[in-house]
C-alpha cells in the first residue's frame, strides 16, 4: 500500500514555496531617493567636529530609536557585530578578562570578547528559553570576569532581572545581544534595553533591516560616548576632545551610511506591525502542534512577549523511534523548509578547539598573564549540545508574509508526518 508521506511517494502538503519575507516598500524607495537627490551618502568625519557624529539621516535614526525604545542614547553602527565589538570595548574588557556568553548564538557574540583580548567563558542555556540564565552564569563568575553577553535568541528575551542582580553583586557590565528580538518585551520593557548596553541588528534577514546595520543603546552617557568614539577612529580625536579615559580608545570605522540610516528610519516605523503577525502566526501554529506527541513548540517563559524571529521546536526522537534527520527529511518532502539544530555550539568550532586567535601564537588564548583555565571541551554545555545535536528543529517561516492558509499548511504537514511516523520507522 502506497504511503501518504511525500518522502515515501505520497503527495506533498505544499507544492509551492512559502512566501518570501519582504519589508521594503515605497517608503524606503522615497527615502533612498531623497538621500541620492541630496548627494551626501555619508557625513562622518574622523575629526572632532559636529560631523564626528554623522549626517542628518544617521542622527534622525538615532533620535527615533531612542524615542521608540525609551532609552537615553542610541548609537548607530554598520552592523550588529560592530555594535557588539564597540559595546565590549566600552565595557573596558582587556587582555585576560573573562566575558561570559551563550554558546548557542552567532559567532560574533563571543568573538567580540576575543577582539579585545578577552576570554569567552560559555554558560549553558535554559532548555525552554534557549537563553543563558542567572543559574548558569553564576558558577562561571571568577575574579577575572568583566562582562556578561546575554543573547535573546530566536526572539525570546532572557530572564534579565536575576541576571542584572547578579551583575550588580559582582560589578559586571551586561551587554544584551537582541539582534533576533527587536519588538520583544520582558515584563513590559523592550528587549535590548534591559542590560547596561543593548545591541540591535538591521541585517537583511532580521525582522527589520537596511541591508546591513545595527544600533547599540544604553542609558549610561559614559558608555554611549565610548561607543561613539570606538565607532569613529577614537584615537584621532581623544586629544582634541579632551578625553582622559582612553582605555580601548583605538577606534574603528563602524559608521552607518545615510542610505542605510534612511531605510532603517522607515523600517523602524513598521516594527510593531511586523512583529504582531509573527506572534499571531506562532500562536496559530502552536495551538495545533501542542496536540502532537513528541513535539514541544516554542514557549514564552515568564512575563515576556516573544518576537519569534525563529520558530524552534523540540523533537523527541526516542519517543517515536525515528531519528531527527529522518523526521526533518519527511517535513522537507512535504514542502516545509526546516533544518536540524541551529549553529554548532561555539566552543566546538575551530577557533576555540585549536585556540586560534591573533598572530601565530593564538592570542588571547595563549596570553601568559591569563590565570584561568580554558574549557572548551565537548560536554561543557550539555543542554546546548542536546538541543543542537538531538532535539531542535529550526524553522524561520513564521514571518508577516504568511497568511492563515500558509500556517495551516505548515501545521498539516507536521500532523501528517507525526500521524504516519511509524511508516518512517518501518522504512528506515
In this prediction, residue 239 has a pLDDT band, given cuts at 50, 70 and 90, of: confident
Sign of the CA dihedral with 314 first, then 318, 320, and 326 last = positive
Sign of the CA dihedral with 96 first, then 355, 388, and 335 last = positive
In this prediction, residue 425 has a pLDDT band, given cuts at 50, 70 and 90, of: confident
CA distance 9 to 243: 70
Q: Mean pLDDT, to the nearest integer, of 68-86?
A: 99
Q: Supply the DSSP string of 20-75, one letter for each residue.
A: PP----HHHHHHHHHHHHHT-S----SSSSGGGG--HHHHHHHHHHHHHHT-SEEE
Query: Can you tell me whether residue 156 is helix, strand or coil?
Result: coil
Percent of the chain whose pLDDT exceeds 70: 99
Q: Which residue has the higher pLDDT, 201 or 361?
A: 201
- The answer on pLDDT for 188 being more than 80 is yes
Using H for helix, E for strand and C for coil, what is the string for 109-128? HHHHHHHCCCEEEECCECCC
Task: Give the per-residue pLDDT at 2.
Answer: 60
Q: Which residue has the higher pLDDT, 427 or 160?
A: 160
Task: Give the per-residue pLDDT at 246.
Answer: 75
Task: Give the per-residue pLDDT at 86.
Answer: 98
Q: Mean pLDDT, to the nearest integer, of 394-401?
A: 89
Task: Give the per-residue pLDDT at 147.
Answer: 99
In this prediction, residue 243 has a pLDDT band, given cuts at 50, 70 and 90, of: confident
Task: Give the per-residue pLDDT at 360.
Answer: 87
In this prediction, residue 247 has a pLDDT band, given cuts at 50, 70 and 90, of: confident
Task: Give the per-residue pLDDT at 287.
Answer: 97
- The answer on pLDDT for 426 being more than 90 is no
Catalytic residues: 206
Q: Which residues contact 50 (CB under 8 A, 6 or more apart)?
A: none
Sign of the CA dihedral with 283 first, then 284, 290, and 293 last = negative
- The class (CATH top level) of 26-268 is alpha beta
pLDDT tens across 323-365, in order? 999 999 999 999 999 999 999 999 999 999 999 999 988 999 9
pLDDT tens across 252-277, in order? 999 999 999 999 999 999 999 999 99
Q: Which residue has the higher pLDDT, 251 or 226?
A: 226
Q: Which residue has the higher pLDDT, 408 or 427?
A: 408
Q: Which residues contact 229 (CB under 8 A, 6 or more apart)?
A: 237, 238, 241, 243, 249, 251
Q: How many CA atoms lie within 13 A of 359 on its CB side?
A: 9
Q: Mean pLDDT, to the nearest integer, of 61-81?
A: 99
Q: Mean pLDDT, to the nearest integer, of 397-416?
A: 95
Q: Mean pLDDT, to the nearest integer, of 402-407?
A: 96
Task: Give the per-residue pLDDT at 427.
Answer: 57
- The answer on pLDDT for 167 being more than 60 is yes
Note if the bond before 364 is cis, omega within 30 degrees: yes
- The answer on pLDDT for 211 being more than 80 is yes
- The answer on pLDDT for 244 being more than 90 is no
pLDDT tens across 362-395, in order? 999 998 888 889 999 999 999 999 999 999 999 8
- The answer on pLDDT for 428 being more than 60 is no
What sections of 172-257 are H helices per DSSP?
Answer: 221-231, 238-241
**Residues 111, 346 contacting (CB under 8 angstroms):** no
Q: Which residue has the higher pLDDT, 76 or 21?
A: 76
Q: Mean pLDDT, to the nearest integer, of 135-155?
A: 98
Amino acid at each position: 500500500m502506497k504511503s501518504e508521506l511525500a518522502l515515501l511517494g505520497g503527495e506533498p502538503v505544499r507544492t509551492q514555496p512559502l512566501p518570501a519575507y519582504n519589508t521594503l516598500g515605497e517608503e524606503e524607495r522615497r527615502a533612498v531617493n531623497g538621500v541620492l537627490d541630496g548627494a551626501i551618502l555619508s557625513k562622518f568625519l574622523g575629526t572632532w567636529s559636529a560631523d564626528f557624529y554623522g549626517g542628518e539621516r544617521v542622527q534622525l535614526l538615532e533620535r527615533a530609536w531612542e524615542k521608540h525604545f525609551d532609552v537615553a542614547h542610541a548609537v548607530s553602527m554598520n552592523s550588529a557585530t560592530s555594535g557588539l565589538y564597540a559595546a565590549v570595548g566600552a565595557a573596558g574588557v582587556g587582555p585576560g578578562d573573562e566575558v561570559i556568553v551563550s554558546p548557542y548564538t552567532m559567532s560574533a557574540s563571543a568573538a567580540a570578547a576575543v577582539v579585545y583580548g578577552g576570554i569567552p567563558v560559555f554558560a549553558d542555556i535554559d532548555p525552554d528559553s534557549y537563553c543563558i540564565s542567572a543559574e548558569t552564569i553564576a558558577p562561571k563568575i571568577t575574579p577575572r570576569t568583566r562582562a556578561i553577553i546575554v543573547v535573546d535568541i530566536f526572539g525570546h528575551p532572557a530572564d534579565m532581572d536575576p541576571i542584572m542582580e547578579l551583575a550588580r553583586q559582582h560589578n559586571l557590565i551586561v551587554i544584551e545581544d537582541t539582534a533576533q528580538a527587536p519588538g520583544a518585551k520582558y515584563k513590559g520593557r523592550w528587549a535590548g534595553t534591559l542590560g547596561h548596553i543593548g545591541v540591535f541588528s538591521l541585517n537583511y534577514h532580521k525582522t527589520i533591516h537596511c541591508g546591513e546595520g545595527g544600533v547599540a543603546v544604553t542609558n549610561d552617557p559614559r558608555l554611549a560616548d565610548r561607543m561613539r568614539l570606538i565607532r569613529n577612529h577614537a584615537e584621532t580625536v581623544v586629544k582634541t576632545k579632551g578625553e582622559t579615559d582612553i582605555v580601548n580608545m583605538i577606534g574603528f570605522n563602524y559608521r552607518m551610511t545615510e542610505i542605510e540610516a534612511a531605510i532603517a528610519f522607515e523600517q523602524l516605523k513598521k516594527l510593531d506591525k511586523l512583529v504582531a503577525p509573527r506572534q499571531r502566526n506562532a500562536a496559530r501554529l502552536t495551538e495545533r502542534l501542542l496536540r502532537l506527541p513528541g513535539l514541544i513548540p516554542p514557549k514564552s517563559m515568564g512575563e515576556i512577549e516573544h518576537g519569534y524571529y525563529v520558530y524552534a521546536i523540540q523533537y523527541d526522537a526516542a519517543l517515536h523511534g525515528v531519528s531527527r534527520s529522518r523526521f526533518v527529511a519527511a517535513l522537507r518532502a512535504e514542502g516545509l523548509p526546516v533544518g536540524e539544530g541551529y549553529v554548532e555550539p561555539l566552543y566546538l568550532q575551530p577557533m576555540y578547539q585549536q585556540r586560534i586567535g591573533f598572530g601565530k601564537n593564538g592570542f588571547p588564548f595563549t596570553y601568559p598573564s591569563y590565570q584561568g583555565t580554558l574549557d572548551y571541551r565537548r560536554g561543557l554545555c550539555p543542554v546546548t549540545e542536546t538541543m543542537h545535536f538531538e532535539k531542535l528543529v529550526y524553522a524561520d517561516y513564521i514571518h508577516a508574509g504568511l497568511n492563515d492558509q500558509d500556517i495551516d499548511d505548515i501545521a498539516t504537514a507536521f500532523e501528517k508526518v507525526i500521524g504516519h511516523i511509524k511508516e518512517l520507522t518501518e522504512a528506515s
